[in-house]
Structures are given as C-alpha cells and as structure tokens.
Amino acid sequence: MANSLVPVLLAACFIAASCDGQPTVTFLAKGDDGNLIGLTDDAGSCDAPARLAYLTALDGASLRGCWVRDRSQIRVRFNDTEDRRVPVGDFRRTETAEYRNLSLD
C-alpha cells in the first residue's frame, strides 16, 4: 500500500513546485479613495531595489507595480499612472510580516 502512494506523492510535489504562486503581501495601506495598496517582498519584474506592489480598487480591479522606500514615504509606480507617495506610517503589517518580523524601517 505504501509503495502505491509514492508515485502519487511525487506527482503532487511536482505539480506544487511547478505552480507560479502569487507573491505574499506583507504590508497594506488604504488610500483616500478606498483603494488598497499591498506591498510584497518579492522583486517580480521590478528593477532592484524595487519590490512588487499591488493596487486593488473598490470594483475589484487590480494593478501590479513596483515600490521603493523614499525616506519617510513609500513611492509606488503603477503602469500608466503617476507615482503614488504614501507615508510609511500608513502601512500595516500583515500576519505574514508579523511572522517574518518584517518592517519598513
């Protein structure tokens, strides 16, 4: 019985490893317009030292962009939009950031 599970377990591991998972959001800020900005610690397609960011609108639409720390602000650039500057203090850690003990400082 145990030998018959080996191919199944190997196939499950292969499938799980080949999936392209979403980067984990580590910090969130709510904008004045109700949109959420999520910061990740993943570089994605951003040039270093920038990291991947998401902007989620009230209607459920989502944009990908890049963020960097710029003194006391986070500067986020989404394609075809102006840079957004958000004070560092407006961001809150997610459970993942708490677990990893991450900070924007």
Mean pLDDT, the chain, rounded, equals 82
Q: Which residues contact 43 (CB under 8 A, 6 or more apart)?
A: 50, 51, 52
In a domain, 90, yes or no: yes
In a domain, 94, yes or no: yes
Quote the domain boundaries for residue 91: 23-100
CA-nearest of 25, 55, 54, 29 to 40 is: 25
In a domain, 14, yes or no: no
Q: Which residues contact 41 (CB under 8 A, 6 or more apart)?
A: 23, 24, 26, 51, 102
Q: Is the pLDDT of residue 36 over 50?
A: yes
pTM: predicted TM-score of the whole model, two decimal places = 0.75
Structure-block tokens of residue 68: 């960097």
Q: Is the pLDDT of residue 19 over 70?
A: no
Residue-level pLDDT at 6: 46
